[in-house]
Amino acid sequence: MPPDEKPNKYEPLPSVPIPTYEEAIGSSSRIATPDTSNETAIPAEREGLLGAQDGLTSGPTRRHGYRPPPSVEEARDSSEEHASFINQDAEVLLRDLTDSEDDEEDRVRREMEEMDIEDAPSRDTQSADVFTSAAQRMAGRLFDPESMADSDRIREHLRAITANDHLAGTEGDYVLAQYVEDHFLASKLEEVRKERFDVYLNYPKEGGRKVEILGADGKATWSAKIDEDNQYSDPPRQQTPVFHGHSKSGDVTGPLIYANYGSREDFKRLYDSGIDTKGAIALVRYYGSQGDRALKVKAAELAGFAACIIYSDPADDGFVKGEPAPQGRFMPENGVQRGAVSLMSWVVGDVLTPGWGSVKGAERVPKENNPGLVGIPSLPLSWGDAKNLLKAIEGFGQAAPEEWAGGIPDVNYWSGNLSSPRIHLVNDQDEVDEQPIWNVMGKINGVEQQEKSIIIGNHRDSWVYGATDPGSGTAVMLEVIHIFGDLVERGWRPLRSIEFASWDGEEYNLIGSTEYVETNIQKLRNDAFVYLNVDVGVGGTEFKASGSPVFQKSLLRVLNRVSDPFQNATLRELWDARSGQLEGLGAGSDYVAFQDMAGTSSLDFGFDGPGYPYHSAFDNFEWMSTVGDPGFEYHKILAQAWALLILEYSDRLVLPFDISAYSASLTAWSMDLENWVGHKGANQDGNAPWSIDPLRKAVLQFAVEAEKFEKWEVEWDALVLGGNGFESAVTGEHRKSHNTRMSNFETHLLDLEEGGGIPNRTQFKHVVFGPQLWSGYDEAYFPAIRDAVEAGDWALAKMQVEKTASIIMRAARKLNGN
């Protein structure tokens, strides 16, 4: 490796070898091609290209008043309420659609002329036998993911992935990148490469972290342990020290004040109770009313604190919830949750290159006063360490209210005040402005629309060993790649290209994926059809999914085909039994740049559960193989579902986007926005007039255009499937244009005018999806409008409603070529 590419080395790498691909799988991986001559081999494929209009069962309203995407049935059942909202009934909609219909052949020919396709053949003179016929392509699948996924292979991948810690930019990370690259090559992927970006990262210095209680003489009377016990001793392995990514360096002394979950409301409660916090050190717990650790630190900074300590309280993640690791799923007494405190919902990616790729020679902004970085030092602690701090402030300030009391035994929770014992906190670290990180990329080129891509991603970097986060997802992705590589070796090709990505630097601030998107933004906006993300693949046994509503139909079809062997039911049956819903996207993983910046419809999914030893050294291979998923069966099930979803979007002749579900979701979210704003002081106290009418009209227009758009798919079904799979060249070109317009709908929801995007956070361009300023990981719909309302800027809120409505209206009309 050239000297300038040498990864950060905070300690020598131990001599624990990562096995080769052949050593990991232990034997030949090729499986004989199953007989596909019988069309009934995969019954689901005989239901037609698109199948029935599946829907999601309605469930309870989500936190913060936001609603998840409604099901098609829910939308229909609540049609009267929706008709009231849009002031339009179904008969009028139908009349509008009927009046606007054009002759199919005229529409096709007009569109081909717009696409500059010369000498368009007529249906009478030429018909195309698409890959023998469309029907044969749909029925003649060359493999069955249900039988090809192998839990033993996944287990051995995870053993290799977790053999060393692999924090972004370190040697362990680079070695793992090489392992992943080798697997990409062995699986016959094309254009395999490592893509390097040079980004701002921090690493703890040895001996550079302290939390001490000081006596009256200023000497330490107690020192926090800070680091976890080493999990491996024979042989010993390097273990990432405990710290916060992107934290601020500092040496601070001040009185300790406890502030519950560290939300703005918690700090306001201290202020309202007369407790001065200026210059103090905040002690707050993870989770609760402010789930984003970075926003806890930022709120403490704004409240006048000089530093912040965050710990895992057993009431939220420990023995109060259940058996702790290593025997159980929760944080033990000496376990510590690492994590980044960069302000992900304010600036995403490399904080020194916001909005452009962090390649060699790129312009970089300063770290000082950077909107993506906090301004006070912070450290994470175990509850074992925090217990001593909480006991030290007993009797100072005020007894904590009941809802502020945690679950640490033998502790009375008090607030503390400026008379509390003084704490000395040190956070001395190496800060590297241009530290190399490495994405690993590979693809399978498509045969019909090679330039169009289905992008598959998982991040590789981890805070320590990362068996669950993200190792479970990485191991499953490697198995999915093996399955598709096997298929390619037998001569199969998808219609559209499939791109696989192993992202680096996700744990710091979604860096690797964001830098990739920023570097390739126009290409992605033009040609990326969907992005399928898995972060934590297996954190439990309950399948969860969040994403754009366009995935609703295809997701349910896939869940119908995958079964849980322990519960003897399909994932769809289990989903329906618990009223499962496709949830909204927040700002928690690598889909953010694709959905919110590139406008690529994104889906994030995996198995969730009550907990796992999150971001700690206890999240290791031994824990996963004994507690997390001992037989690796849920890893195998996830591989099946992921492979089937890839097939849905890479190989169906008509993309299975659920545009009607998007329409129903926009209606529900607009109604929810109107209700939410009504409780925020709209049209009161001399505020600028507020009305949601422009958004109401845009949602109505989209409902009209969506129904008209989806009628073409029914016509295509009848024409092509009814004609034994023969498709005219004209219809084939229209089908491809139809697919492109379908995928472009999400891109057309971006605010791309000069200076466009969420005000003061213009990296985020999507008018429907995006993080709210203080919501962190939680999903938020119409974030620019909500930010303005939260700030009490009703003039800006009115302007954002009008802009959002205009963008939705334009995107809706473009669906049908208007």
Token digits of residue 34: 């199953």
Please give the pLDDT value at position 85. 54
Determine what percent of the chain is predicted with pLDDT higher than 90: 77
> Domain coordinates of the chain in residue numbers?
146-199+433-548+590-651, 203-428, 658-816
Looking at per-residue pLDDT, the higher value among 190 and 59 belongs to 190
How far CA 219 is from CA of 215, 224, 283, 727, in Å, comes to 5, 14, 21, 83
pLDDT digits (tens, 9 = 90+) for 720-768: 888 888 888 999 999 999 999 999 999 999 999 999 999 999 999 999 9
Please give the pLDDT value at position 144. 67
Token digits of residue 73: 């049935």
| Average confidence (pLDDT) over 693-721 | 94
Structural class in CATH, domain 203-428: alpha beta
Q: Which of 92-101, 467-476, 781-790 has the lowest mean pLDDT?
A: 92-101
Please give the pLDDT value at position 777. 72
Cis, peptide link before residue 235, omega less than 30° from 0: yes
Q: Measured between alpha carbons, how far is 435 from 640 in angstroms, rounded to an integer?
A: 36
Please give the pLDDT value at position 89. 40
pLDDT at 685 over 80: no
pLDDT digits (tens, 9 = 90+) for 587-614: 899 999 999 999 999 999 999 999 999 9
Please give the pLDDT value at position 686. 73
Q: Measured between alpha carbons, how far is 459 from 508 in angstroms, rounded to an integer?
A: 11
pLDDT at 40 over 60: no
pLDDT at 783 over 80: yes
- Closest by CA to 281, choosing from 315, 307, 312, 314, is 307
pLDDT digits (tens, 9 = 90+) for 236-292: 999 999 999 999 999 999 999 999 999 999 999 999 999 999 999 999 999 999 999
Please give the pLDDT value at position 304. 98
pLDDT digits (tens, 9 = 90+) for 327-383: 999 999 999 999 999 999 999 999 999 999 999 999 999 999 999 999 999 999 999
What is the overall mean pLDDT for the chain? 85
How far CA 324 is from CA of 319, 333, 613, 683, 709, in Å, comes to 6, 8, 8, 51, 52
Long-range contacts made by residues 404-412, C-beta under 8 angstroms, separation at least 24?
404/258, 404/260, 404/266, 405/315, 406/285, 406/313, 406/314, 406/315, 406/316, 407/313, 407/314, 407/315, 407/316, 407/318, 407/319, 407/320, 408/313, 408/314, 408/383, 411/387
Please give the pLDDT value at position 776. 67
Structural class in CATH, domain 146-199+433-548+590-651: alpha beta
| Average confidence (pLDDT) over 302-308 | 98
Please give the pLDDT value at position 11. 39
The helix/strand/coil state of 165 is coil
Structural class in CATH, domain 658-816: mainly alpha
Cβ pair 435, 169 in contact under 8 A: yes
Whole-structure pTM value: 0.86
Using a 10 angstrom Cβ sphere, with 0-12 exposed, 13-18 middle and 19 or more buried, the burial of residue 319 is: middle
pLDDT at 709 over 50: yes
Q: Measured between alpha carbons, how far is 414 from 744 in angstroms, rounded to an integer?
A: 55
pLDDT at 59 over 50: no
